[in-house]
Amino acid sequence: MELSERKKKILTAVVEGYIATAEPVGSKALAEKIGCSSATIRNEMSELVSMGYLEQPHTSAGRIPSPAGYRLYVNELMEKQKLSEAEAAAINEKLARKDEQIERLMAEVGQLTSSMTQYPAYALTMKPPVAVKRFDFIYVDANTFIVVALLTDNTVKNKLIHLPFSVHQEQITVLSSLFNANFTGVTDREITDSIIRSTERAAGDTYGLVAVVASFTIECLAAARTAPLRVAGESQLLSQPEFRDPDKAHALMSFIADGSHLMDDLPPAGMGTDGLRVTIGPENLAQELKDSSVVMASYDAGDGMRGYIGVVGPTRMDYSGVAAKLSYIAAGLSRLLAGTDAPEGLNNKLVLKESDRHE
Amino acid sequence: MELSERKKKILTAVVEGYIATAEPVGSKALAEKIGCSSATIRNEMSELVSMGYLEQPHTSAGRIPSPAGYRLYVNELMEKQKLSEAEAAAINEKLARKDEQIERLMAEVGQLTSSMTQYPAYALTMKPPVAVKRFDFIYVDANTFIVVALLTDNTVKNKLIHLPFSVHQEQITVLSSLFNANFTGVTDREITDSIIRSTERAAGDTYGLVAVVASFTIECLAAARTAPLRVAGESQLLSQPEFRDPDKAHALMSFIADGSHLMDDLPPAGMGTDGLRVTIGPENLAQELKDSSVVMASYDAGDGMRGYIGVVGPTRMDYSGVAAKLSYIAAGLSRLLAGTDAPEGLNNKLVLKESDRHE
DNA sequence: TTCTAGCACTCTTTTACTTCGAGTGCTAAT
DNA sequence: ATTAGCACTCGAAGTAAAAGAGTGCTAGAA
């Protein structure tokens, strides 16, 4: 059933009032904002309660939104806020000179998001499976060489290998061509023991050299597949009134701090058309998040990679403000990483893609 | 003035009692432990108060240790705990298969330390200034090459450079020899504009190629100098009764979360002969730590590098237990990183030193 | 002397009880 | 349909009394 205009107005006012003050909203406070008497408001509110959009903490308190109420607000009622000049400028400035490597960038983005929204934030980038595109072996001295692997996602990993015995330049060259022949174009799962064994035979390797380089390769590929998830600003939770209870705060914080749990709750799909997704209270799968809400935004990280940033907070979250900020940051990241916009600066002019480093 | 045996016993009991319960310790509770009546204890305690080793929160409460009391306890009274079999095993197991890169290892060590001690922990490695030992340029295709820099600390950094115009293999070779001639053996501060300019002239470089690689070099060296400090387990604070006040907790947590502050308070020297250092409450320089204590241990990270791990907690900290755990972990790290002990496993047999990655 | 027992006193914590007020639900009038 | 009025509910805040832990002091025992 469709809500009357006035009910919508009341619901919106309750949600926004509660977001602002963290106190149940009473009928008197709304009377003048809506333009009718408190008694009317009361009637309307009690209907909203029976429809499931509002709740009463106890008989003689004001109303607070139910999860369904928040949902309706987010889906239909909320006006998307615009960022202030200052906020937009701050974000731009932070993102401007970021030709850092991806892992470090994610950490910074997490911090930025957290400080802009005043909630704990996380940031990660999903990567498609990768393979090695080419190997290079750099001979340093009789006991040392470097393996450099260029991956299909254009990141570069390397490893310095120090040997307790000596090798010749030629041996390294042989190793190099064997690895380029046998270990390129395959994912980590496709590197089997038998391939390693046969390469070892071909190289006449009795020292386990092949095994070392192969395990380095597997490591690189596995690491490249794993998304580095960064969490920042956990302590922001403590400034929210609903987490003044240290036990609650502790429970949620330790849940958040270990990002791996958060991942489980990320539906890879399910983002709205605007790249935003809001999960309210009980909609969250994880038990620890049943009283909290998560807002996340996705961005284009280039090369078919997709990234996500999000914040975690109480259900009484400033959805509108957070959504606006996340969108803005996500858009900036898309521009930066997918290069849909030409970044300025010498580095950026020349270096379109920057290496990642050996896992 | 030297304390009588009995006073020492009482002080020890008060400190340990308070550590265990977070409640002021009364005379009656101590009576049987010490072996004399509560009245005697009271007399002794009131002397300890006037000597400055104990404090009274208010007239009719038990006693708690003063910072001086903790100090005396830590310096002379405390018995160094031994780790239980299980704890030692847990630490060993965690450290066992860590041939990860240093930055990731530090993160893991921070987590390990935090979970063992139940306090927030940090971990970092100090590095001596480094220079590039040699450059290698890998020609990938007409628009792409990789710069690999082997640093004096035996880490390897790399960067994939993608050009909006094409270059020849020979140009890369020239660049390589120029960089090996002009940019090796110098620290980041010693790379001046004039060196860059003259290299550019020598290379006949009009595209800014030299500038890009040079700035990558500076970046690497600067990053290698900066110690990566990792903080873990901030939320552990919330389980301590003294931080049940969310405001206090928030203040300290945000201080800790930004590791850079913590660094300021690290006296590079000042570690005890056992590699341990305890800073109690007001002894800390940072205002935010005046009510907290810091226990840190140092370890040998090999190649003249020194590393530190530490925990932050209330002054009522389990100094003895924490010290034991930190020592043990630090010893394990020294063994792992400085290689004073032969680690097992194929990787470790062959690979004595592992690369770090591009900045 | 040095220690101990006893006791009055202090000060926090806990509990119970009261008051206060915001907000509701209902009814009757507009 | 809306509004004004009013009794009622229920948490929050405040007050008072009681409980309890621990001290300091004094006087007597070892």
DSSP code of B241? G
Chain A residues lying within 8 Å of B155, measured CB to CB: 160
Same domain for B48 and B155?
no
In this complex, the residue with its CA at the shortest distance from the C1' of nucleotide C5 is B39
What is the average pLDDT value for chain B, to the nearest integer?
A: 84
Same domain for B243 and B162?
no
Q: Which strand C nucleotides have any atom less than 7 A from protein CB atoms? A: 3-6, 9-12, 21-27
Same domain for A123 and A233?
yes
Is the per-residue pLDDT at B293 higher than 70?
yes
Give the closest of A163, A246, A352 to B350, CB-based: A163
- CATH no. for residue A189? 3.30.390
Range of the domain at B67: 5-77
**Is B357 part of a structural domain of the chain?**
no
Q: Nearest nucleotide, C1' to the C-alpha of B44?
A: C3
With bands split at pLDDT 50, 70 and 90, how would you rate the model's confidence at B359?
A: very low
Give the burial string for A161-185 (b: 16+ CB within 10 Å, else e): bbbeeebeeebbebbbebbbebbbe
Same domain for A69 and A169?
no
CA distances (Å), origin B148, targets A24, A204, A277, A352: 61, 28, 41, 18
- CATH no. for residue A259? 3.30.450.40
Side chain identity at A6, as an amino acid letter?
R
Contact yes or no for B357 and A354 at CB 8 A: no
Same domain for B40 and B174?
no
Is residue A294 within 8 A of residue A252, CB to CB? The reply is: no
Q: Total structural domains in chain A?
A: 3
**Is A243 part of a structural domain of the chain?**
yes
**Is A358 part of a structural domain of the chain?**
no
**Is B344 part of a structural domain of the chain?**
yes
pLDDT, residue A136, reads: 93
CA distances (Å), origin A5, targets A2, A67, B159: 9, 20, 59
Chain A residue whose CA is closest to B151: A160
Same domain for B72 and B94?
no
Same domain for B321 and B231?
yes
User: Would you say the C-alpha torsion B332, B336, B340, B345 has a positive or negative sign?
Assistant: positive
pLDDT digits (tens, 9 = 90+) for B87-106: 999 898 888 765 556 777 88
Is the per-residue pLDDT at A294 higher than 70?
yes
Give the closest of B148, B253, B359 to A146, CB-based: B148
Is the per-residue pLDDT at B307 higher than 70?
yes
Cα–Cα dist A55/A74, whole Å: 17
Same domain for A29 and A120?
no
Q: Is the CB of B38 under 7 A from strand D?
A: yes
pLDDT digits (tens, 9 = 90+) for A67-98: 999 999 999 999 888 899 999 999 988 887 65
pLDDT digits (tens, 9 = 90+) for B210-228: 888 998 898 888 877 766 7
Cα–Cα dist B333/B350, whole Å: 19
pLDDT, residue B112, reads: 93
pLDDT, residue A48, reads: 94
Chosen domain end from A77, A94, A119: A77
- Is the pTM higher than 0.85? no
**Is A176 part of a structural domain of the chain?**
yes
With bands split at pLDDT 50, 70 and 90, how would you rate the model's confidence at B352?
A: very low
Chain A residues lying within 8 Å of B352, measured CB to CB: 162, 164
Is the per-residue pLDDT at B356 higher than 90?
no
To the nearest whole Å, the CA of B250 is away from the closest chain A CA by: 6
pLDDT digits (tens, 9 = 90+) for A104-148: 788 889 999 999 999 999 998 877 778 999 999 999 999 899 999
For residue A81, the tally of other CB atoms under 10 A from its CB is 16
- Please compute the mean of the pLDDT values over residues B344-358 and round it to a whole number: 34
Same domain for B100 and B171?
no
Give the closest of A101, A156, A247 to B359, CB-based: A101
**Is A42 part of a structural domain of the chain?**
yes
Side chain identity at B69, as an amino acid letter?
G
